[in-house]
Every structure is written in C-alpha cells, then in structure tokens.
Amino acid sequence: MASECREILVRADHRGLICDASSMQSIYWFGFTEGPYRHRPPAVGAFCCQGAGFGLDRKTERMAVAVHEAGHALAAFTLGVHVPAVSIREQEGILPCGHPYDVTGELDEVRLAGATVKQGMTVLVSGERAEDRWLRENGLWTEQRAFFTERGALGDRATARTILSREFGVPLRFGTSAPGAEDTADWWRYHPISDELLTDVWPQVMLLAERVADAGALSGDAAAEVCGLTNPTRPY
C-alpha cells in the first residue's frame, strides 16, 4: 500500500495523485508542483483563471468570494483577532482567456501577531471552508468548483506557511500526521475545527457576505457591527 500511495501518475494533463498517509484519501497535485489538493483538478490549461473555472454568473461569483471573506472575518471576530477591513474587488477585461472580469477578496491588513497557531490557522482556513459550505447549501457544489475553492486559498496557505516558518520554525503540512495526533501545523486538521466554528456563526457569515457583496468593502468595525459583534482590539 505504501508504494501504491506514493505513486505519481504521469498523465497528459499533468495531474498527480498521492495518498494522505493518515486517512488514505486521495491527494492531487496540479501541474506536478502546485498543491496538494483534496479535489481533482481539471487538466492543466483547461482554464486560465478562477472565474472561468467556477463557471458561475457574475453576481453568484461575487457572492462566493464575499462568503469566503466573511468566513475569515467571523472566525477572526470569534477568536479575538482584529480585522481592519473586509473587501472584494472586480477587475474588468484583464484575462487572456476571454473571461471578462476577475473577482478577488481580502481581509485587508489583518495581523495575526499575538494569536496562537490554532487561532491563526483557524482564521486562515475558514475562508475556504465557508465558501465550500455555501456552494453545497446552494446546490452549486461540484468537484471542479471544490478544487477552485481550494485553489482560491493559495494566498491563505502562503500566509500560514510564512507565519509557521518565521514564528515557530516548522513547515506547513497537509494530512501527514499520525492518526489521532494533534498537529498545529497541519492545514487539513483545521477543516473540522473551522466547520464547527462556522456552524455556530453561519447566520452572521451570510449576513456579512451579503453586505460585503453589495458594498464592496467594509471597515472591520462596520463588519463586526453588521454581525452584532465587537471587533477585537488591535494586538499591536
């Protein structure tokens, strides 16, 4: 089984497969180097951008991105992390594949200084998890969209990788811990933690997402007020 799990499937579309040592779940790589992902990617070159990959109309894609950012924000408010601002942005006509716009989101200038590893990792994971849940609840979930939801968190993964390396001297991991072990540097072990947190605040996630999708940007204090919460004070 071990040799089978470590096999890289070299195929025309450059998708690789390796198994999660703790759960035996398939793990995918995109173009051999990008990943790992838990959902099967499309063939390399099939889509040039997130928007084309999602295949949603403009309003729905904007809401999906807003849900992602609202998930980050509610996790931050709940765990005592200050949020300066929440925003989504659209850029017109910039994509070579003909997709007419690009929608991106950001938890502007959020600082995780003073947060524990668990707090910071949960905040970072919660954008991806909120978006995945929203797709499922609205009948929009597909394997392809789940992959692009994971891929949309590459920036969050990069932030986690930087913090773990700089502050704690450990690498970001993905499902490589022994079953039952507590590993504060394992991205996928925060999925159920985030899911539980988001369940408790899901009505606020949706309320904030709708407000951000409509306004484009809110200050952290305004975002917290929308949710009936208080923005935690700055830790610096």
Considering the chain, what percentage of its residues have pLDDT values greater than 70?
78
Rounded to 10 degrees, what is the CA torsion of 116, 117, 121, 124? 50
pLDDT of amino acid 96: 63
Query: Which residue would you say has higher pLDDT here, 229 or 108?
Result: 229
User: What does pTM read for this prediction?
Assistant: 0.85
Domains of the chain: 2-37 (no CATH), 50-226 (1.20.58)
pLDDT exceeds 80 at position 186: yes
pLDDT of amino acid 94: 58
pLDDT exceeds 70 at position 20: no
pLDDT, the chain, mean: 82
- Say how far apart CA 196 and CA 122 lie, in whole Å: 11
pLDDT band at 154; cut points 50, 70, 90: very high
Cβ count within 10 A of residue 71:
30
pLDDT of amino acid 99: 61
Say if CB 231 and CB 220 are below 8 A apart: yes
- Say how far apart CA 171 and CA 174 lie, in whole Å: 10
Query: Which residue would you say has higher pLDDT here, 101 or 197?
Result: 197
Question: What size, in residues, is the chain?
Answer: 236
Say if CB 51 and CB 101 are below 8 A apart: yes
